[in-house]
Amino acid sequence: MTSSESVDAYRAVRLEYNVLERLEVRQLLPPDSRIADMRLDIVLQRRDRSELIVLEFSGVRNLRFAQSETSVHEMVLEITSIAERQWENLNYAVTDQDDGVSFLCDRVTFRRQ
């Protein structure tokens, strides 16, 4: 599935899967490179906790977090293509509806778990 298809798949279910289960940041340093690849995985579940989806973002830059004021953090992401800006290795801008997280990234992967 391409990044564009992954974004479309997420948009189709984003209001159903909006409870944040896990948010994980990883920094990967390829053996043949001195440039790290920051990755962000967001796992969202249905409110009834019956299913999960995973969004994997690669090439993350400008990552910002803000603390939620509620005990159950709901996250509905807006993923916007910025490819037309032709910024090096940045194709998407991502924000959540409550400005709890925002970042830019190169690639998006969606899967059901």
Q: Name the pLDDT band for 74 (thresholds 50, 70, 90).
A: confident
Per-residue pLDDT at 40 exceeds 70: yes
Per-residue pLDDT at 70 exceeds 70: no
Structure pTM? 0.89
Detail the DSSP E strand segments found in 7-88: 17-28, 37-46, 52-58, 61-65, 77-81
Q: Name the pLDDT band for 32 (thresholds 50, 70, 90).
A: confident
Q: Name the pLDDT band for 108 (thresholds 50, 70, 90).
A: very high
Domain locations along the chain: 3-112
Per-residue pLDDT at 113 exceeds 90: no
Tell me how far apart the 2 most distant CA atoms of the chain are, in Å.
Answer: 44
